[in-house]
Structure 1
Amino acid sequence: MNVFFQPEMTEKELVLFREFIEKEFGIRMPDSKKMLLQSRLSKRLRELNLKSFNEYFKYLTSDKGKENEFNTFVDLVSTHVTKFFREPNHFEYIFENILPDFVKAGKSQIRIWSSASSTGEEAYSIAIIMEEFISQHPKITMDYEIVGTDISMPVIDKAKAGVYNEDSVLELSRYLKYKYFMKSKDRDQKLIKVVPEIRKKVNFRYMNLMDDTYSIGTKFNIVFCRNVLIYFDKKTQEKIIKNIINNLKDDGYLILGHSETIIGMDVGVKNVIPTIYKKSF
């Protein structure tokens, strides 16, 4: 395929991909996303030397494609917008309210789930908050485990590595940067890496929130599900939230993104402050 040629996606091809994406991942792909989808997939057509989106779809859904191309396709159609301490009031509320309440209740083993962890910034931000709380309260006994899940294997691999551009921590204080990140020895690369003490506290793994049930281990004290529901229709949103609540401990907390709400859904939680909910039982 000519590298300068970008084929036009037909309406029939758009419908094929739209139905496949919604069925497999629950992600809405309206007509307004056609150009974005076409642009992202055109690169794969060139790399695979395919002539049409229909040809690529046939390959993607073949046995060979499911084995070799599926993870790449997931990464192309997923959104991975994230940063350290995004929506900082959530982390402040955990530090100032939730963790002190856990201490008063005698909870010493805390499990936290970053359910759409992308490249790991959210999960590592949670770990930093936990470390800071524990270090500032030396008389308490508290340990924690963080699980980060995502549908894209490439971003999971990046999260596990914990390597980021220096620009990604520009907004953090010098204290946090010095304590929790290591600079690359090759200063031309301008990379930083999360310290091993933090990386070992976070377990990243594959999971599709569209699954009927979640095999995620024992229940969690806090679940982050931020800026992901906006990509699903209301029916799928409710299904996901119910599955998450089933994996939340009694009196556990669910944290959503600022553009999301579950008010009106009968899912067994009560609103504590905007976007933060507590499981009622």
Structure 2
Amino acid sequence: MRDITKSETSKEFQFSHRDFERVRGLIYKRAGISLADSKEEMVYSRLARRLRATGISAFSEYLDWLEGDLENTEWESFTNALTTNLTSFFREEHHFPILAEHVLKCEHPVNIWCSASSTGEEPYSIAMTLCEAFGTLRPPAHIIATDIDTNVLNTAARGVYGADRIEKLSSDRVRKFFLRGKGAQDGYVKVRQELRDLITFKQLNLLADSWPISGEFDAVFCRNVMIYFDKPTQGKILKKFVPLMKHDALLFAGHSENFLYVSDEFRLKGKTVYELANASSRGRAGSGQFRRGSV
């Protein structure tokens, strides 16, 4: 039997290694997220907030409550609490000139799916790139931005950020795409309405059997989310991307993600940029049959 350490007894809530293993199993089944052994303290810290919010006094009771009702609205808060959202405007900047060049070759309207949008910096970076590529705030394009976490989606849809979030952007981009707050909003910026109009935000779990989107996209951004899934889960998700992509579509991955040993559906085109392995044959077979990406 495992001994309880001094640090465990000093915690507000008793949290055993068995509780941690139960959490790992539940979040994997619910969202496909594989938590490493090193995440035990993080799990305690984040879920302790949920115990306080619900008035439950023990982790085992909280987990029993979740497992006893798969339709429990607390599942959403449980999942949100364990989702890591690290992002910034124009993160992995080398992707955006590639996107700009690509969209100018695409049939209009251009449709892009940002599959892990977090608090919105990524889809807004995509929107800014489209505006710059087409030379207008109203480019012939639409972006679907999805995330499993409803909290970050609400933040993204508002488009309001602390001014420190745009410090690394050029003064030209700040002037074109943001409004600075005044009075009570001093210290904040808001994304211009024209950019927000280009994006539809929607909740989506990549692990779900079906996704509430349809159509064929010119580009799919799936960056820095696959690292939380094991290889079999990554393979299933990549396979489901294929019918949603046009024959010449691009898939953008995160800097630490490598899909070459996960799926034979894609081939590397550039630094963490992929294309469909059978792009040429799909283009001939599917010519004239594309439709607008939609929700």
TM-score by length of 2: 0.86
Distance 1:33 1:266 in 2: 28
Q: Structure 1 residue 12: deviation in Å?
A: 1.8
Q: Structure 1 residue 66: deviation in Å?
A: 4.1
Task: Tell whether 2:41 aligns with 1:35.
Answer: yes
Counterpart residue number, 1:155 = 152
Matches within 5 A, 1:27-106: 27-63=33-69, 66-95=71-100, 97-102=101-106
Q: Structure 1 residue 110: deviation in Å?
A: 0.5
Distance 2:104 2:128 in 1: 16
Match of 2:170 among 159, 168, 173: 173
- Given that residues 241 and 267 in structure 1 are in contact (C-alpha distance below 8 angstroms), is that contact kept between their aligned partners in structure 2? no
**Pairwise CA RMSD:** 2.0
Q: Structure 1 residue 57: deviation in Å?
A: 1.2
Distance 1:115 1:275 in 2: 16
Task: Tell whether 2:22 aligns with 1:16.
Answer: yes
- Given that residues 210 and 240 in structure 1 are in contact (C-alpha distance below 8 angstroms), is that contact kept between their aligned partners in structure 2? yes
Q: Structure 1 residue 211: deviation in Å?
A: 1.4
Matches within 5 A, 1:1-281: 5-63=11-69, 66-95=71-100, 97-102=101-106, 107-135=107-135, 143-186=140-183, 189-279=186-276, 280=279, 281=282
User: What amino acid sits opposite 2:162 in the alignment?
Assistant: N
Percent sequence identity is 35
Distance 1:51 1:74 in 2: 20
User: What amino acid sits opposite 2:75 in the alignment?
Assistant: F
Q: Deviations over 1:117-144 (max 9, x none)?
A: 01111001000000111117x9xx9610
Size of the aligned set, in residue pairs, is 269
SS of match in other structure, 1:101: coil
Distance 1:194 1:236 in 2: 35
SS of match in other structure, 1:167: helix
SS of match in other structure, 2:130: helix
TM-score by length of 1: 0.90
SS of match in other structure, 1:126: helix
Distance 1:66 1:53 in 2: 19
Distance 1:165 1:125 in 2: 16
User: What amino acid sits opposite 1:80 in the alignment?
Assistant: N
Q: Deviations over 1:14-35 (max 9, x none)?
A: 1211111111111001221111
Distance 1:142 1:163 in 2: 22
- Given that residues 242 and 267 in structure 1 are in contact (C-alpha distance below 8 angstroms), is that contact kept between their aligned partners in structure 2? no
Distance 1:186 1:72 in 2: 33
Runs of 4+ with >4 A deviation: none
SS of match in other structure, 1:130: helix
- Given that residues 148 and 204 in structure 1 are in contact (C-alpha distance below 8 angstroms), is that contact kept between their aligned partners in structure 2? yes
Q: Runs of 5+ in structure 1 lacking a partner?
A: none
Shift in alpha-carbon separation, 1:48–1:173, aligned structure 2, 3 A: same
Distance 2:46 2:146 in 1: 23
State which drifts further: 67-76 or 20-29.
67-76
